């Protein structure tokens, strides 16, 4: 039977919904990172010197990454059994509520030790939400997309990352123009409370999308995985490990370039203002919104692995020049360093990542498998990288150990992607009959026109 023609208007609507919802989720998540670098140390850890207080603040930031795999497992389980859409709505609500509550938190001066305790609890909720959201958002785009365009459409929810980063840095950049006392007293809270309005917009858009056809077919044949996390480990152990390794470099360096850099470049030894560094990150975020779909589209033509490998190679090679440029204390070189690091190195890995990870797993466990590969490495990579970099800086007073750290994570990703299979041209819309192993199912691919 000839499959129905592909509905291009439908995928554009789904891709837009994934982009908008993901932007809002990442705005909330990144806002915490910016605040942890600039104000949380003084508000919630005032009994330490500035660098140690920032280190403690980054510690609460890292807590969110610990919760991300848990969110990936729980939401992946229900996303593979009940549906992608319901989990996207749940995670958006949870993220919005947690972020708004952070904006209402009393500080250490007001309630003592309970202030950082409550901050950590709400950060855990943020981590759980973003851990469960990513898999559903990318699958909605990738599973609706036709073969030959999955890299491009899969990059749309990835664009939500720089878009959310841009929103958080622009808003916090404006708030940082306030007098110091006003910013610390009430200004920072405004950025967190804005989440209430943004989540309302995201919910309205996400409620309009439908489940991907591949998952609908699984539901109709009643062949859902009973325990998706066990099936993912049982049937795809190699791909899980390789996805985790592939994720290490882009995740670790991203948080160095967008969070740690706020503390590093504003030190008296270098002397950039907060606004200057935030402007550099904002410029890179704008350019990433173009670079990510470009690299996603390129991966449809050349394959996921060549594009991904290029990004990892560039990241390792640029590690030392990145810090050399910043340490010139010249604004033009700071801008160039941040832009090259994010727009070329990071974007070449992150652009094709959604389609690459989704294609490594079958439909029955795809939400769980892709989420685990993405989120498990986040605990050890992005969650720890600002902490590791800050500690290395505190111990040595120099940037060269941090550059070596970047080279190490780039090598881990290079090896992982090199060992992975090329997935760009595989049919992910095939699904098994009841009792048939997923890997042996042979169904015709959906037409692309």
Q: Is the CB of residue 123 less than 8 Å from the CB of residue 56?
A: no
In a domain, 429, yes or no: no
| pLDDT computed for residue 172 by the predictor | 79
Q: Is the CB of residue 245 less than 8 Å from the CB of residue 416?
A: yes
Residues 6+ apart with CB under 8 A from 165: 26, 27, 30, 258, 281, 285
Mean pLDDT for 401-411 is: 96
| pLDDT computed for residue 6 by the predictor | 52
Instruction: With CA atoms as reference, report the closest residue to 158 among 299, 335, 10, 349.
Output: 349
Q: Among the ranges 4-8, 247-251, 374-378, which has the highest mean pLDDT value?
A: 247-251
In a domain, 260, yes or no: yes
Give the C-alpha separation, 289 to 85, whole Å: 24
In a domain, 301, yes or no: yes
In a domain, 348, yes or no: yes
Domain that holds residue 124: 8-209+226-421
pTM above 0.85, yes or no: no
Residue 13 has pLDDT above 70, yes or no: yes
Q: Is the CB of residue 100 less than 8 Å from the CB of residue 193?
A: yes
In a domain, 369, yes or no: yes
In a domain, 123, yes or no: yes
In a domain, 426, yes or no: no
| pLDDT computed for residue 224 by the predictor | 67
Cα(first)–Cα(last) distance of the chain, in Å?
Answer: 16
| pLDDT computed for residue 31 by the predictor | 80
Distances (CA, A) of 183 to 93, 178, 381: 27, 6, 31
Rg of the chain taking only CA atoms, in angstroms: 21
In a domain, 437, yes or no: no
Q: Is 199 helix (H, G, I), strand (E, B) or coil?
A: helix
Residues 6+ apart with CB under 8 A from 130: 25, 26, 28, 29, 64, 68, 71, 91, 95
Given CA atoms 145, 377, 127, 399 in this order, what sign does their dihedral have? negative
Give the C-alpha separation, 136 to 77, whole Å: 11
Q: What is the pLDDT of residues 70-122, one digit of tens each?
A: 988 888 888 888 878 888 889 888 988 998 998 998 988 888 888 888 888 88
Q: How many other CB atoms are found less than 10 A from the CB of residue 120?
A: 14
Domain CATH code at residue 114: 1.20.1250.20
Output the six-digit token pair for 236: 């795809």
* Domains: count for the chain: 1
Residue 52 has pLDDT above 70, yes or no: no
Mean pLDDT for 190-217 is: 80
Residues in the chain: 449
Give the C-alpha separation, 73 to 287, whole Å: 33
């Amino acid at each position: 039977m000839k499959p129905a023609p592909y509905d291009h208007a439908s995928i554009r609507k789904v891709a837009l919904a994934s982009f908008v919802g993901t932007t809002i989720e990442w705005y909330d998540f990144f806002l915490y990172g910016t605040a942890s670098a600039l104000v949380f140390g003084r508000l919630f850890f005032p009994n330490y010197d500035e660098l140690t207080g920032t280190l403690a603040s980054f510690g609460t930031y890292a807590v969110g990454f610990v919760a991300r795999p848990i969110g990936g497992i729980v939401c992946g389980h229900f996303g593979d059994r009940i549906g992608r859409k319901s989990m996207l709505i749940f995670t958006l609500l949870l993220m919005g509520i947690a972020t708004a509550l952070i904006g209402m938190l009393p500080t250490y001066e007001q309630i003592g030790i309970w202030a950082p305790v409550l901050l950590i609890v709400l950060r855990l909720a943020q981590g759980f939400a973003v851990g469960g959201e990513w898999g559903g958002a990318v699958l909605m785009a990738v599973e609706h997309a036709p073969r030959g365009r999955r890299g491009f459409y899969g990059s749309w929810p990835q664009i939500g990352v720089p878009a959310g980063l841009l929103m958080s840095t622009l808003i916090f950049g404006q708030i940082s123009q306030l007098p110091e006392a006003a910013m610390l007293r009430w200004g920072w809270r405004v950025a967190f409370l804005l989440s209430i309005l943004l989540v309302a917009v995201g919910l309205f858009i996400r409620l309009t999308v439908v489940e991907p056809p591949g998952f609908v077919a699984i539901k109709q044949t009643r062949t859902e995985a009973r325990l998706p996390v066990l099936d993912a480990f049982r049937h795809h152990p190699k791909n899980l490990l390789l996805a985790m390794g592939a994720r290490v470099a882009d995740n670790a360096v991203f948080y160095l370039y967008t969070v740690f850099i706020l503390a590093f470049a504003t030190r008296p030894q270098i002397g950039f203002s907060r606004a200057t560094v935030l402007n550099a990150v904002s410029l890179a975020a704008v350019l990433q919104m173009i670079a990510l779909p470009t690299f996603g589209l390129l991966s449809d033509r050349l394959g996921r692995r060549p594009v991904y490998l290029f990004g990892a190679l560039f990241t390792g090679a640029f590690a030392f020049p990145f810090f050399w440029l910043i340490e010139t204390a010249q604004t033009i070189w700071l801008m160039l360093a941040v832009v090259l690091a994010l727009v070329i190195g990071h974007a070449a890995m992150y652009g094709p990542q959604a389609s690459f990870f989704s294609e490594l797993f079958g439909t029955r466990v795809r939400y769980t498998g892709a989420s685990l590969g993405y989120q498990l490495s986040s605990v050890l990579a992005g969650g720890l990288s600002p902490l590791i970099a800050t500690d290395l800086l505190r111990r040595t007073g120099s940037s060269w150990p941090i550059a070596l750290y970047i080279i190490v994570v780039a090598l881990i990703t290079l090896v992982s992607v090199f060992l992975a299979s090329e997935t760009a041209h595989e049919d992910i819309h095939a699904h098994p009959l009841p009792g048939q192993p997923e890997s042996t199912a042979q169904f015709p691919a959906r037409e692309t026109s």
